Structure 1
Amino acid sequence: MTVHILFAAKVESWSDYEAPLRETLDAAGLDYVLDCDMQAEQVEYIIYAPNSGLTDFGLFPRLKAVLCLWAGVEDVVGNASLRVPLARMVDEDGLTQGMVEWVTGHTLRHHLGMDAHIVNPDQRWDCTPPAIAQDRPVTVLGLGALGLACAQSLAHLGFPVSGWSRSAKDLSGITCFSGADGLDDALSGAQIVVLLLPNTPATENTLNAARLALLAPGAFIINPGRGTLIDDNDLLDALDSGQVAHATLDVFRVEPLPQDHPYWPHPNVTVTPHIASFTRPSTAARVIAANIARSEQSEPMLHLVDRSVGY
């Protein structure tokens, strides 16, 4: 039977996604109709971006599943009209690899003290050698697909890596913590902290004044996760006191970051414009096509969101 698939994202995305989606759907052996405009009563699957403007999933009586193009689903998971399975984007070749490269790059940047040599107006000839990886404890908050891949990459480079997750995990090469008490233990003495938690009520302000105080003095914060994970005022206080030496931030509560936000002029903050990782059509299309094929073959879909925890 013919499968009807609606592409619901910003209009300009259709030209980027159409060819890769058709190629991968063909390769999966599916008989399908794919379009960005379709009669609601025909739609069985929705390839979805939360910024598409689509908010009422009750309009689609034959809907089987919604496949999100984004890793983050906080903007849709609470939608009361969504009563079918919701799959988030987990793309090892695109999203995950991009995140690993960004996190590893900025971790090495801070670890090696590269900023002092890149911006050196006084022409200082400082021969102080950097620490080596084994002497620089790193903590990764969040051990989902993205966090786990980053933690493993850093451990492979020789960093002693601790990881924290909501539920207990046992991972080779990573010291794992879980639960409320485990979070404080994971942060204690960390010199670099990478935040890759989802945006949920339980994770808001995970890094606050009390937890920032647990870090090694002069620690570095790297946040490519969600802007809500950090209490901004507490981080600014920690930066001004020297408890945190530098924060590299890719995500913010309001985006684009307002021009009058104190992060912009702060000498110890690096602002990047939400580019740590993003969905790449060529690789994301393979994930989407494979999941639709699984559903049509009555196999369990992958990367389904647990509504009770929000991701």
Structure 2
Amino acid sequence: MLGAGRIGGWAAKLFADLGYDTAVWSRHQKTLPGIQSYFGRAQLADALTLRDYVICSLPLTGDTRGILNSSAFGKMKRGAYLVNVARGAHVKEADLIRALDEDQLSGACLDVFQREPLEASSPLWNHPKVTITPHVASFWVDSGIDQAADLCGQVARGEPLSNKIDLELGY
């Protein structure tokens, strides 16, 4: 799991609870019971090497833009499967297509794209190893209505908001 925040941490715990050997990678070390934590650029290759599935739930920052590229795909276990539910700009799509065509990756499920909506001429639409979903991955975690209700309750109770954007971090 690339990303160990609210979504990535939730998904990692779910997979670990199902008995999968699960690891997360993030900017800073995270402590999640029963889950290996890799952090920082120096440990990215180690985080990718042994995984059958790589799921990206990272925030999009200057450091994570294009992080899933030919170099990253080359470090992944041959035959790994990529899932991107974060931001399209994490994936260099031409590099992904090459990795799929060369059987470095066995497939990819993409909920987001570099350019949205995905252009009709994109080779991703017809690639036999690509599954495209309609940018709905976040609905599986929680609904926007629930988030809005929680935030309204926090304001009404005078509590600090739990879902604030840190402009310095970029998410």
Q: Which TM-score band (shorter chain)? A: over 0.9
SS at 1:155's partner residue?
helix
AA matched with 1:289: C
SS at 1:141's partner residue?
coil
1:289 matches 2:152: yes
Equivalent residues of 2:151, 2:162 under 8 A apart = no
Report the counterpart of residue 237 of structure 1 in structure 2.
98
| Residue number among 15, 18, 21 corresponding to 1:154 in the alignment | 15
The two structures have a TM-score, normalised by structure 1, of: 0.52
Report the counterpart of residue 305 of structure 1 in structure 2.
165
1:300 is displaced (CA, Å) by: 2.6
AA matched with 1:280: S
The verdict on how the C-alpha distance between 1:281 and 1:300 changes in structure 2, with shifts beyond 3 A counting, is: closer
Following the alignment from structure 1 to structure 2, what is the Cα–Cα distance between the partners of residues 205 and 227?
A: 9
Q: For each residue in 1:133-183, what CA deviation from the matched residue of structure 2 results, as whole angstroms up to 9, or x when unmatched?
A: xxxxxxx00011000000000011111001001111121011001101111
Report the counterpart of residue 223 of structure 1 in structure 2.
84
| Residue number among 6, 29, 42 corresponding to 1:181 in the alignment | 42
AA matched with 2:72: R
SS at 1:213's partner residue?
helix
1:263 is displaced (CA, Å) by: 0.2
Equivalent residues of 1:256, 1:273 under 8 A apart = no
SS at 1:181's partner residue?
helix
Report the counterpart of residue 247 of structure 1 in structure 2.
108
Give the number of aligned pairs.
169
1:164 matches 2:30: no
Equivalent residues of 2:16, 2:34 under 8 A apart = yes
The verdict on how the C-alpha distance between 1:214 and 1:259 changes in structure 2, with shifts beyond 3 A counting, is: same
Following the alignment from structure 1 to structure 2, what is the Cα–Cα distance between the partners of residues 156 and 166?
A: 24
AA matched with 1:238: A
Following the alignment from structure 1 to structure 2, what is the Cα–Cα distance between the partners of residues 142 and 284?
A: 20
1:260 matches 2:121: yes
Which structure has the larger Rg over C-alpha atoms? 1
Following the alignment from structure 2 to structure 1, what is the Cα–Cα distance between the partners of residues 148 and 73?
A: 40
Q: Please, which runs of 5 or more residues in structure 2 have no aligned partner?
A: none
SS at 1:256's partner residue?
coil
1:191 matches 2:52: yes
AA matched with 2:71: A
1:282 is displaced (CA, Å) by: 4.1
Equivalent residues of 1:212, 1:238 under 8 A apart = yes
Equivalent residues of 2:91, 2:114 under 8 A apart = no
1:226 is displaced (CA, Å) by: 0.7
Following the alignment from structure 1 to structure 2, what is the Cα–Cα distance between the partners of residues 251 and 264?
A: 13
Correspondences of 1:1-311 after superposition (within 5 Å): 140-278=1-139, 280=143, 282-294=145-157, 297=158, 299-311=159-171
Identity across the alignment (%): 39
How much is the aligned-residue C-alpha RMSD, in angstroms?
1.4
Equivalent residues of 1:225, 1:251 under 8 A apart = yes
AA matched with 1:305: I
